[in-house]
Structure 1
Amino acid sequence: MSYLRYVKLIGTMHVSPKSREEVISTILSEKPHAVAIELDRARFLAMKQNRELTLEESLRYGKKGLINYVLAKVEERLGEEFGMKPGEEMKAAISAAQTLGVPLYLIDEDINVILAKIAAAPSREKLLMALEALSVFLPVGVSGSSPDVMADYKVMMIQFRLRYPYLYRVLVEERNEVMARNLISIVNFLKAQGVKKPKVVAVVGLGHKPGIEHLLNSAKEKAFISSSWSYYQ
């Protein structure tokens, strides 16, 4: 049987207010046994504490710190354009889980592992990413944006895959595998606790949704044993 029948994935754009609203309404209407979000423990704690890394602090961590800082600034810039801070849809999921009194699981890959992989990217992709990242710090507004933010995001993911094949594998495909494995482990855990038909709502980035759904749909029950998710009540 497919694990997808136990998991409802919400694909969000991390800077879209509509995504936040969808997360809240879906979780409250579905009333799942558990909620899972695309965060690891380090990013979860940083978000809860509203802690932001400055450029000076990031440089102390070397290459990985600088990469993390640039990626954060990219999302921050997008948040300004769409009227929402990055991570608001994750905060909404946390709040909805607390409202229902159901467990919350953190299913994403460890950020330090992700940053180490990015640091090992081919020189061509590093250079291209650095050049494109420079535009984030320039006082130039985004123009010609389509009203359909989600459609634009899908196009952006296709372009990203073509321009950055290594980074796409690291940032999208490998994380899909980690999150799918963790969702399967959560379902198995709930079944072991006596829940006959577990229902899990997972909040992930829009670019991760199709890949995770494919992995869940093709996996046979109890095919995965190990997991790396964190649990928060």
Structure 2
Amino acid sequence: MKYHACIRQLQKNLKTVALTNRAQIFRTVRSRNYGGYSNIKLPTSATLVQNDKQGTVVLLGTVHFSKQSVEDVSQIVKVLKPNAILVELCRQRVSLLELDDKKFLEDAKKFDSRKMKQAVKGQNFVSGMLHAMLLKTYADIAKELGVAPGGEFRRAYHEMKKIPGCKLFLGDRPIQITIARAFQSLSVYELGQVLFHLTTSNPKPLDKFQLERYKDKDFVHAQFEEITRDVPAFKKIFHVFVDERDKCLAYSLQECVRTVMDNPRVLAVVGMGHVDGIIKYYGKMKQEDIVPLLFA
């Protein structure tokens, strides 16, 4: 199998998700609902999803390699003064909060097949391959942009520690479950179709001067359309990676608000690609809806 060709093609697909963003222009949200905040200064990438007697919830959509997204976190913390912060991480990725940016960038420059094999040791071939591709994608983007991933989550974590009584919540489903479910959703024919596409395609490398295009939602939608048009089976993979996780994140956010007893003021920090789905499902998810999504 052309292993490195697999990695290159999936990187193209993963970058469409990893680099999604919108213009970072601040606006003032005026809420007609009851709440502690009638005017909140927010970046356009943030949404006030709840502001009533039960609590105030701000959802910030980020780009995982964006320095502006990191600053947006601090801006919202300053005006919201949250007593809970939820981040798009699971226990398997919580080490990202203590990541040394400088060391990660140094390691990214030395990321090779040996390190990939070490990172996915103990996983089956298909899950291990996708996990390796994810790691390689992040390493390559980090090398290209000179920015370590997850800076917005680290900023949220450090801001949380400055606020007395503020709690941090991990909102995402375990990454290994997501990877396993993605490939289990495919038939043998679809899996062959995906692997054939990955091994025969030769995508262009990331052009850092074109990154601004990922702020355009229409452009990103067109990228997804192109991928799924070429290989319809990718729709199933995207369903597991995006839609299912939107439901899990929405439910986690609901539980976060419910467990903060005293006037919940919650900031949720998630990738931009999850914002629309979380807004769609927030307040509607029940435990019985989520449990089936937590098993591979």
Residue matched to 1:70: 133
Shift of 1:129: 4.5
Counterpart AA for 1:33: N
C-alpha contact (below 8 Å) 2:49/2:58 kept by paired residues:
no
C-alpha change, 1:135 and 1:214, in structure 2 (3 Å) is same
| Residue equivalent to 1:10 | 60
2:278 — aligned with what? 212
Partner of 1:176: 246
Matched, 1:107 2:107: no
Q: Which amino acid aligns with 1:106?
A: L
Mapped partners of 1:181, 1:95: distance in 2:
24
The one-letter code matched in structure 2 to 1:198 is P
* Number of the residue aligned with 2:41: none
Find the aligned partners of 1:49 and 1:19 in 2 and give their Cα distance. 17
Higher strand share: 2
Structure 1 gaps, min length 5? 229-233
For 1:154 and 1:84, locate their aligned partners in 2 and report how far apart those are by CA, in whole Å.
25
With CA pairs under 8 Å and 6+ residues apart, which has the higher RCO, 1 or 2?
Answer: 1
Deviations along 1:45-91, one digit per CA (max 9) or x if unpaired, are: 36536688922212542322221121121122223333311111111
Identify the residue that residue 36 of structure 2 maps to in structure 1.
none
Letter of the 1:23 counterpart: V
Instruction: Tell me whether 1:55 sits opposite 2:116 in the alignment.
Output: yes
Distance 2:123 2:287 in 1: 34
Task: Tell me the SS of whatever aligns to 2:273.
Answer: coil
SS at match of 1:14: coil
Match of 1:56, as an amino acid? K
**By how many angstroms is 1:225 displaced?**
4.8
Q: Provide the rounded CA distance (Å) in 2 between the counterparts of 1:38 and 1:130.
A: 31
Moved over 4 A (4+): 49-53, 129-132, 225-228
Alignment match, 1:128: 197
Q: CA deviation at 1:103?
A: 0.3
Question: Which AA in structure 2 matches 1:117?
Answer: R
Residue 202 (structure 1) shift = 0.4
- Is 1:224 matched with 2:286? yes
- The whole-number CA distance in structure 1 between the counterparts of 2:75 and 2:175 is 29
1:182 Cα offset (Å): 0.9
Equivalent residue for 2:266? 200
SS in 1 for 2:210: coil
Q: Is the 8 A contact 2:85 2:168 kept in 1?
A: yes
TM-score, L = length of structure 1: 0.78
TM-score for the superposition, normalised by structure 2? 0.63
Q: Deviations over 1:76-111 (max 9, x none)?
A: 222333331111111111111111231000000111
What is the CA deviation profile of residues 157-207 of structure 1, one whole-angstrom value per residue up to 9, with x for unaligned ones? 5532661211111011000000001111111111xx3x2x41110000000
Asked if the contact 1:35/1:105 (under 8 Å) is kept, the reply is yes
CA contact (8 A) 1:173 1:211 kept: yes
Could you say what secondary structure the match of 1:201 adopts? strand
Q: Flag the 1:143–1:28 CA change in 2: closer, same or farther, 3 A.
A: closer
Count of residue pairs the alignment pairs up: 215
Equivalent position of 2:143 in the other structure: 80
The equivalent of 1:29 in structure 2 is 79
Larger Rg: 2
